[in-house]
Amino acid sequence: MATLIAPINHSPVADAEALHGAFKGWGTDEKSVITILGHRNVYQRQQIRKSYQEIYQEDILKRLESELSGDFERAVYRWMLEPADRDAVLANVAIKDGSKSYHVIIEIVSVLSPEEVLAMRRAYHNRYKHSLEEDLAAHTTGHLRQLLVGLVTSFRYGGAEINPKLAKTEADILHESIKEKKGNHEEAIRILTTRSKTQLLATFNRYRDDHGISITKKLLDNASDDFHKALHTTIRCINDHKKYYEKILRGALKRVGTDEDGLTRVVVTRAEKDLKDIKELYYKRNSVHLEDAVAKEISGDYKKFILTLLGKQD
> Which residues does the annotation place in the binding site for Ca(2+)?
23, 25, 27, 67, 255, 257, 295, 297
Burial of 25 per CB tally in 10 Å (0-12, 13-18, 19+): exposed
Please state, in angstroms and rounded to a whole number, the distance separating the CA atoms of residues 273 and 169.
34
| 302, 71 contact by CB (below 8 A) | yes
Return binding residues: 23, 25, 27, 67, 255, 257, 295, 297
Residues with Cβ within 8 Å of 170's Cβ and at least 6 positions away in sequence, in order, are 191, 195, 203
Output Rg (C-alpha) for the chain, integer angstroms.
Answer: 21
Please state, in angstroms and rounded to a whole number, the distance separating the CA atoms of residues 37 and 213.
45
- How far is Cα of residue 287 from the mean position of the Cα atoms in its chain? 24
